[in-house]
Structure 1
């Protein structure tokens, strides 16, 4: 039974990551429900209040160096526990803030960094268990916790804000984050920790086994030494054979020096990378409005806070269903996944224009369904499409570039929308700008696809005559050989 659990501990880690996601993202996904109360209580502008949420979503994209530093000081599990405690403390302390600037630090910077660090730590542990097989399924299952957080927290958070205000609600969310995320974090053993504990248990069993007579001790020591020597010889022989096979295949890996990293970045930075970065930044900018300013927009058009919470729940439901669907059939499309991303961006143009003219609750219900579908497509497809577009040989650099672009978009996305609302008292112009931003995204991604298609055609044209000449040459040699025979 113990061996069976050990072999499947990776799925325990995925389940723990799911619940950690629910707890840690409970505030990030429900911040829009606190938007209006924070703005009124602190007498802040829409730009200032919206930028709190932008910092939360933007800063977490830049938290990878912090995760690397914590892993160098601790192992995964202590680092994760520490970050969860810091995040819940930051949420709790934010309830005593007297200005928006204080919330920039506590909620935006500290909680945002903790949120991103938590994700990178969990991702590192999951990838250790599933480096090649079931990776997408494991990560998708873990990230479903974010959508579940919206489903679970939207209505309770809205009721708490109406009954107790945003300060007491933040205290509740801080306690919820700690109580739900901390116990699963104890289960986040990397594979090497499980091996260590297994070895320690074997060592203790050996100590019990040799606690008998002196002769038994000598016999046991001889067996242990013999088996250890045999294992060492076997390991050494396997390593030599493995090294020899790598040399024969030419698959010898070298450590990443600074020069190799620079060369890899030079390979990544190209016209396609710049266009894809523009696409990512603009997409993140428009999604920042939907993540952060949406409840404020609902209130400006006459939607009540209770109805707004229902709309968020509907969005999260369709987002979850779409994520599961993409996990199941995402690899079965007969075309590149980047085309799905292009369809999603074109859909965002229509969605933004529809948000301008929508006035009734049933209309917003339909738009919330569409929002959930498109948001799931963006979250699931962005990174796979970046690797598909820019190449898999430098996947680490591609993911880093995409994360930085996404963070910049979230940091700047709410500023135009908030400024327009502060000046005109309406978000309709903001959604017209969102539609324009979506058009820029669509054009950028279309140019990437068009450039790659032209490059493929040129390569086919250039290799066509060469292949024809080679086939003629082979035919001539074969005829000459047959004639001579």
Structure 2
């Protein structure tokens, strides 16, 4: 959506009327994009058999797709600033559809990495993150409600995609299924078409090439060329540094210990967090569970998330957790890691159903809190750039986690080790974050005993309407890129 000041007539469209159509489109977008990787495990054994690939080689496909979906945030933000949310969503839908159609003709696992992994993953990133951004323009007073409702699309997609995938796989094979998925993902373009831009006032223009400036440039060019070139180089370096500061907050990472601990902890956590969603279905099939019943296990996780995520959000909003959400988050991560031991001990279908129920509860809390805690540890005026670095580091570990687990299966021959590895990553991350924040807060109290509580850097300063727009209360928020787990 073009940058600029919101026109008076735009406020008439916010929180009412067409805004609710945009919200419905955002729900569908999240189901089509974020929910899609959950069905990849259904095709794991077929892809492995057709391409004669190892577990590690096959697992690179969902890893690349999920990692690109997270890592493409800064690029998506640039596209939104340049072309607007509507165009970016439609471009993402086109890339997703083309990537899946091309993947149905793949002759090697490497081609699948490029088509379904990179191209479709990047398209899903554009559609999802631009769709979330446009909600910030259409909703002001009800923005929190809109984002909460939009997030249910992830759970709905997590519920439906595996069931649909297994049915189509049984009826027509994985290639024809991927071809159909390409057409389904093109519906992101339809959702993007609904997201028409709000009217904006034209931003004040400046004369970049006035006669005086032109003359100055000529004099500099003729009089002191080396000095002029040095100034140009310095200007370019400064622009590059400002761009990095805008999208990747390295300065916050170096100075803010809370952000540093949380970013490292979550990056370590996701190495284990994504493993059950990828390996649960092949693990169940290998242990004699019927394919359709195995796919239903992932749908159970998605169905529970539909109801548990809003409840987790309400729970975290209680005053008792104000400034302490990091500890609630750490407990959920610990609980999630320990739940994987249930799956590792037994592969009986009844045990796997219990595992999915327990796992989905902790997963709901993690998904509801992961970005709320980030808002607690950084100031909101730098949240956009802090989120950029956060998701980049997160995507790196998402990329390498499943292939490492696949290599572990290839070496040992037992899928249960995947769930032991997941437990290790989750539990160690929970202990690291929980104890580190305890030590950090204790040191803060010792070194600054008289400092007011509200200045504690780990307490959230979250506001529904960003403050950088000054007195204009209905102005749109800064363009941010948001991912979800």
Shorter-chain TM-score bucket reads 0.7 to 0.9
Compute the displacement of 1:27 (Å).
3.2
Task: Please name the residue that 1:182 is paired with.
Answer: 189
Pairing 1:332–2:318 present: yes
**Would you say the 8 A contact 1:276–1:444 is kept in 2?**
no
Find the aligned partners of 2:245 and 2:161 in 1 and give their Cα distance: 43
Which residue of 341, 362, 374 corresponds with 2:350?
362
Q: 2:64 aligns with which of 55, 60, 67?
A: 55
- Give 1:29 deviation, angstroms: 2.0
Distance in 1 (alpha carbons) for counterparts of 2:424 and 2:249: 34
- Please list the CA deviations of residues 322-348 of structure 1 after superposition, one character each: whole Å capped at 9, or x if unmatched: 112123443125122212211111102
- Looking at structure 2, the residues matched to 313 and 140 of structure 1 have their Cα atoms a distance apart, in angstroms, of 20
Offset, 1:304: 2.0
Offset of residue 426 of structure 1: 1.0
Report deviation, 1:21: 2.2
The 8 Å contact of residues 268 and 390 in structure 1, kept in 2 or not, is answered as no
Task: Kindly state the Cα deviation for residue 181 of structure 1 after the two structures are TM-superposed.
Answer: 2.7
1:392 CA drift (Å): 3.8
Larger Rg: 1
Q: Does 1:173 align with 2:184?
A: no
Gaps spanning 5+ residues in structure 2: where? 1-9, 203-238, 453-485
Residues 278, 444 of structure 1: 8 Å contact kept: no
Question: What SS class does the counterpart of residue 461 from structure 1 fall into?
Answer: coil
Counting only pairs closer than 5 Å after superposition, residues 93-132 of structure 1 correspond to structure 2 as 93-131=102-140
Deviations 1:125-155 (A, max 9, x none): 1112235x33332122222212111222222
CA distance in 2, matches of 1:97, 1:446: 45
Deviation digits for residues 154-182 of structure 1 (CA, Å, limit 9, x no counterpart): 2221011122111111112112222x433
Unpaired segments ≥5 residues, structure 1? 197-254, 465-485
Displacement after TM superposition at 1:462 (Å): 5.2
Structure 1 CA distance, aligned partners of 2:407 and 2:77? 37
C-alpha distance in structure 2 between counterparts of 1:165 and 1:52, whole Å: 18
Post-superposition offset of 1:349: 2.8
Residues 41-50 or 386-395, more deviating: 386-395
The alpha-carbon deviation at position 428 of structure 1 amounts to 1.6
Matched residue SS, 2:38: coil
Distance 1:365 1:4, change over 3 A: same
Partner of residue 402, structure 1? 390
The question of 1:322 aligning with 2:308 is answered yes
With over 3 angstroms needed to count, the CA separation of the structure-2 counterparts of 1:20 and 1:393, relative to structure 1, is: closer
The residue correspondences of 1:379-458 to structure 2 (distance < 5 A) are 379-458=367-446
TM-score, normalization by structure 1: 0.77
**Conserved 8 A contact 2:276-2:419:** no
Q: Match of 1:210?
A: none
Describe the shift of the 1:333–1:46 C-alpha distance in structure 2 as closer, same or farther (beyond 3 A): farther
| Compared CA separation, residues 392 and 44, structure 1 to 2 (3 A) | same
Q: Which residue of 2 aligns with 1:11?
A: 20
- Residue correspondences, number: 402
Deviations 1:229-288 (A, max 9, x none): xxxxxxxxxxxxxxxxxxxxxxxxxx9982993996424424433322221112211122
Q: How many Å separate the matches in 1 of 2:88 and 2:384?
A: 22
- Counterparts of residues 4-403 of structure 1 (less than 5 Å): 7-25=16-34, 27-131=36-140, 133-178=141-186, 180-192=187-199, 258=242, 261=245, 265-270=250-255, 271-335=257-321, 336-403=324-391
The root-mean-square deviation of aligned C-alpha atoms, in Å, is 2.7
Give the Cα separation in 2 of the matches to 1:164 and 1:259: 48
Contact 2:74-2:388 within 8 A present in 1 as well: no
